[in-house]
Amino acid sequence: MGRLPNFVTHLECSETGREYAPGRKYNLSDSGKPLLVRYDLAALGKALSKRDLAGRRSGGFWRYAEFLPVAAPENRISLGEVETPLIALDRIGRDLGLPDGRLLVKDEGRLPTGSFKARGLALAVSMAKELGVTDLAMPTNGNAGAALAAYASRAGLTSTVLCPADTPEINLSEIEAQGATVLRVNGLINDCGKLVGEGRSARGWFDVSTLKEPYRIEGKKTMGLELAEQLGWRLPDAIFYPTGGGTGLIGMWKAFDELERLGWIGSERPKMIAVQASGCAPIVKAWEAGEEHAPLWQDAHTVAAGIRVPVAIGDFLILRAVRESGGFAIAVDDERILAARDEVARREGLLLCPEGAATFAAWLAALDRGWLQPEAEVVLFNCATGLKYPLPTVTRSLDRNRPVDWASLTNRDA
């Protein structure tokens, strides 16, 4: 793509609207709230058209460079990103009498390090390189740490990742193998985050925690840009999004606003549906109570570790997007999450991660409650490959040295 103009005009406090000059290192605003990157969209629209974009056949989310804050092409850190596919769950849909193509999964597990965290951390690391930051740190339940480790190593930067002690071993090993210093913490992700904050002073770490720097949200924004382009510059009726810190939900809402201001889409919006686990559902509780902020959830637990976030600094931004879109927040229990994973895998051949499976379980629950029309075009976000998570143990066997009773062998679901 060569050298492109940078259209960033300023950064803006998401609470007060106060403006901050671009090109400097920031974490939160002076009000302790997330910062949002703002662009000269009029100039961007003159420099880039939908036809121009269609001519770019590769590059994954870096195809949207004009929409992103990285100024120098050499600072765009890449691990071979791809456009993630939309996969129709038509066999399941037909069982419910739905037309084909109404129930779609956007499978983010195809990205580097196997999760949608690649989007946000690629941007955070690229901007760190551009701004001269060299030592990064963050708390994680697993996938974000893997993405930070990989992109930081690719960029020649150092990274430290703090994980809850019960983080799956596969995630810990992945992070360690890709060059980060991994530290287990006897607590949850918010406890890890407090220690990262202390390390900023004690070790000079730059904190790339969820929404505590401005650029992860810009990476996650590309999910919305990509989805709109894949659907022919229109949007679905509803998006079910697994919500922990909520960066992706907030980022997509920002993307849709920017696309409308460019005139690339209209004013219609999908219902933004925040999906949580019943064992950790602070956003759901706040939405039900009509509150703007979600207090700390006590005793958080769920098999879907990626959405086990007891408190989110961007809670008011998540809730704002949900309410402005006419959406809702919904929680599903672990039993339904695992059943959903198994149903989609066996019926459609698509292995969802638990967080992605939660969106399918939530879709079923929303239909059952009458919160969504069955014929609505829906996109479920599968945020990571299911191969990173515990899978069923295989116990059936054949002894090649004994006669086989072939008649006794049946399909397991027969």
Tens-digit pLDDT profile for residues 172-210:
999 999 999 999 999 999 999 999 999 999 999 999 999
How do residues 11-33 score in pLDDT, each as one tens digit? Answer: 999 999 999 999 999 999 999 99
For 227-258, b where at least 16 C-beta lie within 10 A, e where not — what string? bbbeeeeebbbbbbbbbbbbbbbbbbbbbbeb
In SS3 terms, 101-126 reads as: CCEEEEEHHHCHHHECHHHHHHHHHH
Choices 3.90.1150.10, 3.20.20.140, 3.40.50.1100, 2.130.10.10: CATH for 86-113+215-387: 3.40.50.1100
DSSP annotation string for 122-190:
HHHHHHHHHHT--EEEEE-SSHHHHHHHHHHHHHT-EEEEEEETTS-HHHHHHHHHTT-EEEEESS-HH
Band of residue 4 on the pLDDT scale cut at 50, 70, 90: low
How far lies 3's CA from each of 22, 43, 74, 100, in Å? 19, 16, 9, 42
How confident is the model over 272-303, as pLDDT tens digits? 999 999 999 999 999 999 999 999 999 999 99
Mean pLDDT of the chain: 95
> How is the chain split into domains, by residue range?
86-113+215-387
pTM: 0.93
Q: pLDDT band at 399, cuts 50/70/90? A: very high
Position 373 pLDDT exceeds 70: yes
Tell me how far CA of residue 355 lies from CA of 48, 71, 115, 322, 414, in angstroms.
Answer: 35, 34, 11, 18, 28
CA-CA distance, 19 to 38, in Å (whole number)? 9
Q: What is the pLDDT of residue 413?
A: 57
